[in-house]
Chain A
């Protein structure tokens, strides 16, 4: 395990693609589809992270459904300090909480504009950022 200057474990900074409940989420993202679990009993979207039983009614029956990818910014911040070496040359960068239209919220990045132009209440839409091993959902102002 690598450690930082205070002897603390350094952060992974990566998604955990093998998390059993979340595997379909990460697999769909590879096909540029943003998905979520819809409860077969109460019909509500589970939210994130994915889990085995509905957080609204505890049913364990659900379907993975594709979302519209549209949402609204609940809050946003700008990291001016890099907590991970990979972000050293990216500061300042935006991190946002995006509430998806169908339900559920993601910690994500709103990209395509400077952090100071991101606003609470702004309508956004998903874009997909591919890396060698995984695809991350990020957001841009809705067209």
Chain B
């Protein structure tokens, strides 16, 4: 088996303005992200030969990747939609690497956009998560509920508190306050968090991520071809996935998730350890998700996340800066697409506001998490 560590690199990335984009559509946000990405990479659509995307939540298509390719003027040798919820953006890059190494494509754009903050009247049908009819009759409707089950269980097993979760939200908001392209930039206090209304106990409003309009894209090619692109290439060093259950009904545990095995695979591929990571862009649909993933990724022991997130350890300048862009909690929720673009910017070293730049950043880890805490993907990126 060939080790794919370092075989491919990210050579382009694009982000749209995020937040409320009333005049945009799902399609226009995808195209805007692709254009920004190709401009950044300095190539034309005709030079791209692969495209990966995620199904739009509010308007399903049979192969949206094919539609998007041709809307963008791309004639793909490789194109498909992936469906792993918030683990999809990382899975897209992983599949791009596999396609490139298999000789099926050379230059693959991975794009995801969402229109969830302002209305997007669309002619099509929304996508179901699946099995809602085994939850909704009892009043369980929301992602907040699924993650609240995990939070309640983590509190029961390890004594984690709502104040502990607040540290994740407060630190993430601080990073957003330094990011011009973030939705919520007013610094948050412990009092703000504790006074925010209960949504699904034990999770409060400020434990929950945003609903956003926006998009992002990255361009993947071989390490060899990466040298021909104008900007510093970011090497894909490690990749992993794990999907330990499907729904809350078959989850063996809600306090250790797919991140444990997924990160073990990625660390092994990269030949690196948690202590080698200089930042962590961790999927933060809810505060509890980031706390559990920090444990699963080996930054602290299981159950110690409640103390680990304190004392500035996860803030810029600390031991492992978490979500230096403001994350899903405060920048924008594009299912983690911007966790990847942020990692690329950090490793390029000169593309974010200096106050939130990780000093001398050479390697970092990115996570994706989807479904009923079911799907997980990990990627370790490095500066070439």
Which residues does A use to contact B, with CB under 8 Å? 1, 5-9, 11-16, 19, 47-49, 55, 74-81, 83-84, 87, 90, 92-93, 95, 97, 104-109, 115, 120-121, 134, 136, 138
For B248, what are the chain A residues with a Cβ–Cβ distance below 8 Å? 97, 105, 107
Beta-carbon contact of B156 and A15 below 8 Å: no
Question: Which of the residues B138, B141, B149 comes within 8 Å of A83, measured between beta carbons?
Answer: B141
Question: Which of the residues B116, B120, B138 comes within 8 Å of A136, measured between beta carbons?
Answer: B138
CB-CB under 8 A for A8 and B126, given A93-B139, A136-B137: yes
Beta-carbon contact of A14 and B202 below 8 Å: no
CB distance from B309 to the nearest CB of A (A): 21
A interface: dominant SS: loop
Question: Which of the residues B138, B156, B199 comes within 8 Å of A120, measured between beta carbons?
Answer: B156
CB distance from B255 to the nearest CB of A (A): 10
Beta-carbon contact of A92 and B126 below 8 Å: no
Question: Which of the residues A5, A19, A76, A134 comes within 8 Å of B152, measured between beta carbons?
Answer: A76
Is B244 interfacial (CB-CB < 8 Å)?
no
Number of A-B residue pairs with CB-CB distance less than 8 Å in the complex they form:
115
Interface residues of B in 120-151 (CB under 8 A from A): 120-122, 125-126, 131-142, 144-145, 148-150
CB-CB under 8 A for A106 and B249, given A7-B119, A75-B254, A120-B156: yes
CB-CB under 8 A for A48 and B137, given A75-B152, A77-B149, A78-B201: no
Output the nearest chain A residue to B148 by Cβ-Cβ distance: A77
CB-CB under 8 A for A7 and B249, given A48-B134, A84-B139, A120-B152: no
CB-CB under 8 A for A49 and B121, given A75-B254, A81-B200: no
Of residues A5, A79, A115, which shows the largest number of chain B Cβ atoms within 10 Å of its Cβ?
A: A79
Is B191 interfacial (CB-CB < 8 Å)?
no
Beta-carbon contact of A7 and B138 below 8 Å: no
Question: Which of the residues A6, A87, A97, A115 comes within 8 Å of B201, measured between beta carbons?
Answer: A115
For B142, what are the chain A residues with a Cβ–Cβ distance below 8 Å? 79, 81, 83
Question: Lowest 7 A-B CB distances belong to which pairs?
Answer: A83-B141, A78-B201, A77-B148, A80-B198, A75-B149, A16-B133, A75-B153
Output the nearest chain A residue to B255 by Cβ-Cβ distance: A75
For A121, what are the chain B residues with a Cβ–Cβ distance below 8 Å? 156
CB distance from A55 to the nearest CB of B (A): 8
Interface residues of B in 351-374 (CB under 8 A from A): none
For A83, what are the chain B residues with a Cβ–Cβ distance below 8 Å? 141-142
Is B278 interfacial (CB-CB < 8 Å)?
no
Question: Can you show 13 pairs from A to B with CB atoms below 8 A apart?
Answer: A7-B119, A7-B122, A14-B133, A49-B134, A77-B145, A77-B149, A77-B201, A78-B200, A79-B145, A81-B144, A93-B139, A107-B134, A121-B156
Beta-carbon contact of A8 and B58 below 8 Å: yes
CB distance from B20 to the nearest CB of A (A): 12
Beta-carbon contact of B200 and A109 below 8 Å: no
Is B197 interfacial (CB-CB < 8 Å)?
yes
Beta-carbon contact of A87 and B139 below 8 Å: yes
Output the nearest chain A residue to B197 by Cβ-Cβ distance: A80
Output the nearest chain B residue to A95 by Cβ-Cβ distance: B140
CB distance from A40 to the nearest CB of B (A): 21
Task: Report the Cα distance A76→B201, complex, angstroms.
Answer: 9
Beta-carbon contact of A107 and B152 below 8 Å: no
Beyond the given A7-B121, A92-B198, A109-B139, please list 6 additional residue pairs across the A-B interface where CB-CB is below 8 A.
Answer: A15-B134, A78-B198, A80-B198, A97-B149, A121-B156, A134-B137
Beta-carbon contact of B134 and A14 below 8 Å: no
Interface residues of B in 47-103 (CB under 8 A from A): 58
CB-CB under 8 A for A6 and B152, given A83-B142, A95-B138: no
Is B250 interfacial (CB-CB < 8 Å)?
yes
CB-CB under 8 A for A105 and B141, given A14-B133, A15-B133: no
Of residues A87, A90, A107, A120, which shows the largest number of chain B Cβ atoms within 10 Å of its Cβ?
A: A107
Output the nearest chain A residue to B58 by Cβ-Cβ distance: A8
Beta-carbon contact of A14 and B153 below 8 Å: no
For A1, what are the chain B residues with a Cβ–Cβ distance below 8 Å? 125
Task: Report the Cα distance A138→B287, complex, angstroms.
Answer: 30
